[in-house]
């Protein structure tokens, strides 16, 4: 749908406002730091977020390592709370980092604690700080805070401080009429400020050969040499309003089972167990392998690698599947700019509803947007993916 004159004007205002904010950020950055160093010896990469956020940043991590092969590179990361999985759960031992430092909300919930963290990090004598934004909603003032945090560390150079979306300005218009560049590409573009220009995005997960062989043997023992499609499915998400009903996923699974003889690996953590059980009850026992709550993140990645495609909502494992080169059928709500968080690569089927008559910041409206996606639409998307396998 083409935007009206009013919508075009609103989008113009948003772009100008974001440009103004980033102009001020560049001024502050130029005052506090020197230009990006050509040969830094010790680099601190700052990237917070959950599994999906981190997966989208892996090409950045690899590009930084390839640009500075001799530097000591440390990742500073956080998921906010300890109960939420993040980089520490699946990137330990990655060749593109020398070290990973993790903190949580309770570690910085006072000025004294924040100062103590900065003092501890300062002892490492980092000379370059690379800021990889957390998500679209990171505010101007949060980025200002991060700039001064980098200054407290005593680094010589820092970059990557950029506002990307303004949530409190014509948010519905932005979602309805904007087409966002995929997060992987957006983050890589930020590195150009430091002179890093990767040829193409690279993904790599530090999964041991022992884990991959264990999982492969597990699959072989369950299904021998079946040629029927093997589908990874995960209905859950960190945010409940991003979820589609597990009963509907069950309906789709039964359809794929009956039409193609499909088999399913039902993923998830402890909180996903009830949904996994609902989905599996729809299926023949021999066609379902429920591992929700039983596998580590690396084991689940290895399982996803064994599958033909991924079916689920907008969650971290959707991004993992895409990074592994697997086709994805994913259901999205109107939480973010259209296309921004779609899985990276080609051959995916993304289902998304826009132009709704409700407040896009209201969780009930966000939930409504994903509930509007029909079972038949998801079945058809799966058919298209299977036809291309």
Q: What percentage of the chain reaches a pLDDT higher than 90?
A: 74
Two tokens at 264?
């399913």
Rg of the chain over Cα atoms, rounded to whole angstroms, equals: 22
Distance CA 91, CA 110 (A): 29
Mean pLDDT of 159-166: 91
Query: Quick one: pLDDT at residue 242?
Result: 85
Over the stretch 211-254, which tens digit does the pLDDT of each residue have? 999 998 888 888 877 789 999 999 988 778 888 999 999 999 99
Distances (CA, A) of 2 to 6, 9, 176, 369: 11, 13, 10, 20
Burial class (CB in 10 A: 0-12, 13-18, 19+), 278: middle
Query: Quick one: pLDDT at residue 339?
Result: 87
Over the stretch 165-223, which tens digit does the pLDDT of each residue have? 888 889 899 898 887 789 999 999 999 999 998 878 999 999 999 999 999 888 888 88
Over the stretch 303-335, which tens digit does the pLDDT of each residue have? 999 999 999 999 999 999 999 999 999 999 998
Residue 123 has pLDDT above 90, yes or no: yes
Mean pLDDT of 160-169: 88
Query: Quick one: pLDDT at residue 181?
Result: 83
Query: Quick one: pLDDT at residue 204?
Result: 96
**pLDDT: which is higher, 144 or 237:** 144
Distance CA 389, CA 383 (A): 10
| Mean per-residue pLDDT of the chain | 92
Distance CA 370, CA 239 (A): 12
Over the stretch 52-102, which tens digit does the pLDDT of each residue have? 999 999 999 999 999 999 999 999 999 988 888 899 999 999 999 999 999
Helices in the chain by DSSP H: which ranges?
A: 5-32, 51-67, 87-90, 111-122, 140-152, 171-177, 183-190, 209-223, 246-260, 273-281, 297-306, 316-323, 363-371, 375-388
6-11 long-range contacts (CB < 8 A, ≥24 apart) are 7/173, 7/176, 7/177, 10/170, 10/173, 11/170, 11/173, 11/174, 11/177, 11/178
Angle at 317 between CA 249 and CA 262, to 5 degrees: 45
Two tokens at 282?
């729809």
Q: Contact 263/356 with Cβ under 8 angstroms?
A: no
Query: Quick one: pLDDT at residue 138?
Result: 81
Query: Quick one: pLDDT at residue 316?
Result: 93
The count of other CB atoms within 10 Å of the CB of residue 162 is 20
Distance CA 69, CA 97 (A): 10
Over the stretch 265-284, which tens digit does the pLDDT of each residue have? 999 988 999 999 999 999 99
Domains and CATH numbers, the chain: 5-194 (3.40.50.2000), 209-388 (3.40.50.2000)
Q: What percentage of the chain reaches a pLDDT higher than 70?
A: 100
**pLDDT: which is higher, 37 or 279:** 279
Q: Contact 300/267 with Cβ under 8 angstroms?
A: yes
Query: Quick one: pLDDT at residue 166?
Result: 86
Over the stretch 284-297, which tens digit does the pLDDT of each residue have? 999 999 999 899 99
């Amino acid at each position: 749908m083409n935007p009206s004159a009013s919508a075009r004007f609103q989008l113009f205002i948003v772009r100008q406002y974001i440009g103004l904010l980033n102009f001020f950020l560049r001024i502050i950055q130029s005052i506090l730091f020197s230009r990006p160093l050509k040969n830094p010896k010790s680099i601190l990469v700052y990237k917070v977020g959950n599994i999906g956020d981190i997966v989208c940043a892996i090409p950045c991590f690899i590009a930084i390592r390839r640009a500075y092969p001799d530097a000591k590179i440390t990742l500073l990361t956080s998921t906010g709370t300890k109960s939420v999985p993040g980089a520490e759960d699946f990137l330990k031992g990655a060749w593109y980092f020398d070290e990973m430092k993790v903190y949580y909300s309770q570690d910085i919930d006072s000025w004294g604690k924040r100062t103590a963290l900065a003092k501890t990090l300062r002892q490492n004598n980092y000379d370059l700080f690379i800021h990889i934004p957390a998500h679209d909603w990171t505010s101007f003032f949060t980025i200002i805070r991060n700039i001064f945090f980098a200054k407290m560390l005593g680094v010589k150079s820092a970059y990557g401080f950029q506002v990307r979306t303004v949530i409190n300005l014509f948010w519905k218009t932005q979602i309805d009429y904007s087409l966002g560049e995929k997060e992987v590409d957006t983050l890589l573009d930020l590195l150009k400020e430091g002179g890093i220009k990767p040829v193409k995005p690279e993904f790599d997960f530090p999964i041991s050969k022992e884990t991959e062989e264990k999982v492969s043997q597990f699959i072989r023992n369950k299904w021998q040499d079946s040629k029927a499609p093997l589908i990874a499915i995960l209905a859950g998400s960190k945010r409940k309003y991003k979820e589609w009903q597990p009963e509907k996923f069950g309906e789709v699974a039964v359809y794929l089972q009956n039409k193609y003889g499909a088999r399913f690996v039902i993923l998830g953590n402890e909180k996903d167990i009830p949904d996994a059980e609902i989905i599996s009850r729809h299926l023949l026992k021999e066609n379902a392998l429920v591992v929700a709550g039983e596998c580590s993140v690396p084991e689940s990645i290895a399982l996803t690698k064994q599958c033909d495609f991924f079916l689920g909502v907008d969650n971290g494992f959707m991004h993992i599947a895409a990074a592994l080169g697997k086709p994805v059928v994913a259901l999205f709500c109107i939480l973010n700019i259209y296309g921004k968080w779609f899985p990276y690569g080609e051959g995916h089927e993304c289902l998304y509803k826009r132009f709704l008559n409700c407040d896009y910041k209201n969780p009930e409206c966000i939930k409504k947007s994903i509930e509007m996606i029909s079972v038949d639409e998801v079945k058809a998307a799966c058919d298209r993916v299977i036809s291309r396998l």
